[in-house]
Structure 1
Amino acid sequence: MVPGNSILYVSVDSAEEFGGTDEDLNVAFPVEYLNSLNVTRMPPHDLKLKVGVVVMLMHNLNQTLGLCNGTRMIVTKCLKFCVECEVICGSFVGTKHFIPRMELFPSDTKMPFKLVRKQIPLQVRYAMTINKSQGQSLDTVSLYLPSQFLRMDNTMLLLVG
């Protein structure tokens, strides 16, 4: 819904540390299959970004500059191999950084191989979990309470804070 043209960043996926030969690996896990995997804490294969989109950093890049896992930023420029972003929360608000493509791999997976995804470590995120918001000072907070949080008599639980 953000105006402007979207830029598609496509990952380069590969599989490593498989018990068989390289030929067995390519037959068992073709690139199309690797591209279709959506692994938690990893960016998607097809990452669509626009200037003005709110994103969250998915990897620690430089903690001294505030580029940590969970940092929320807004995209200010989409380049060919990297994205320029401005930090929108925390003590580094307003600083701009270039976020490059990098090789990422999940550490806690039950896959029989090691998935290596070369992609920009960003995900489009307008909302975050309670765990990701810990330690942040926020001016406005919205709370989504689906129907399972309603009491039996249909009165909503009120949270006072």
Structure 2
Amino acid sequence: SQRAILAAKNNDVHALNFTIQSKIAGDLVTYKSVDSITNPDDVVNYPTEFLNSLEIPGFPPHNLQLKVGTVILILRNLNPPRLCNGTRLSVKRLMPNLIEATIINGKYAGENVCIPRIPMIPTDLPFDFKRLQFPVRLAFAMTINKSQGQSLSVCGINLENHCFSHGQLYVACSRVGKPSALFVLTSDQKTKNVVYQRALQ
């Protein structure tokens, strides 16, 4: 459904996603990525175990754990405009080399699609590294930044850890069309609204 929990930080999002998925009935399927160094001269310096341990923003994890019924987010443009970075889907079937899922947001909502494993190469590491994995992450919860452009019917915002950049709170609160569809959790009934004054001048 077009519902989501938003949080400012990746750690909070990951914790929420794992907690929610654990409450869904069904078998947990684990997909392990194939991680490799593309420059042969660097192989000895970066063992596979180290590559597997890397948690890279915007990348799927080495151990991707999913259940049927799980909500996932596409991390790459696979088949624009149908399957784009930021598309949310509900998992229908988990196969060894394909994930079948139903799009749940945007003009293609309701369509069934198949997602393959693809090679992904980060550009901000000091070595050349490739991860072969399904380009998805759990998406019951999302970072506020990743939610930009999404329209939600119901939105929960976890602000136990405050927003940390300009406009984040506005982005989070504007994902829904009416105040009654917005629910906010804070640690002390107040939160910070980060605004860069120079941006308003």
State the TM-score bracket (shorter-chain normalisation).
0.7 to 0.9
C-alpha contact 1:42 1:105 (8 A) present in aligned 2: no
| In 2: Cα distance, 1:14 partner to 1:147 partner | 35
Shift of 1:71: 0.8
2:98 aligned with 1:98, yes or no? Answer: no
Q: How does 1:1-161 map to 2 (within 5 A)?
A: 1-17=23-39, 22=40, 24-65=41-82, 67-107=83-123, 109=124, 111-146=125-160, 156=190
Q: Percent identity?
A: 40
With CA pairs under 8 Å and 6+ residues apart, which has the higher RCO, 1 or 2?
2
| In 1: Cα distance, 2:136 partner to 2:50 partner | 21
Deviation string for 1:119-149 (max 9, x for gaps)? 0001012122333323332211112222758
Per the normalisation by structure 2, the TM-score is 0.67
- Runs of 4 or more, structure 1, over 6 Å off, are none
| In 2: Cα distance, 1:136 partner to 1:26 partner | 40
Aligned partner letter, 2:152 = L
Per the normalisation by structure 1, the TM-score is 0.82
Deviation string for 1:67-97 (max 9, x for gaps)? 1111111110000101001111111111111
Deviation string for 1:22-49 (max 9, x for gaps)? 3x52321111111111111110001011
C-alpha contact 1:41 1:106 (8 A) present in aligned 2: no
Check 1:147–1:81 CA distance in 2 against 1; reply closer, same or farther (3 A cut).
Answer: closer
| In 1: Cα distance, 2:162 partner to 2:144 partner | 18
Bigger fraction of residues in helix = 2
Shift of 1:115: 1.2
Structure with bigger gyration radius: 1
Shift of 1:155: 5.4
| In 2: Cα distance, 1:147 partner to 1:14 partner | 35
Report the 3-state secondary structure (helix = DSSP H, G, I; strand = E; otherwise coil) of the residue aligned with 1:98: strand
Check 1:141–1:32 CA distance in 2 against 1; reply closer, same or farther (3 A cut).
Answer: same
Report the 3-state secondary structure (helix = DSSP H, G, I; strand = E; otherwise coil) of the residue aligned with 1:26: helix
List gaps (5 residues or longer) in structure 1: none
The CA RMSD over aligned residues, in Å, is 2.0
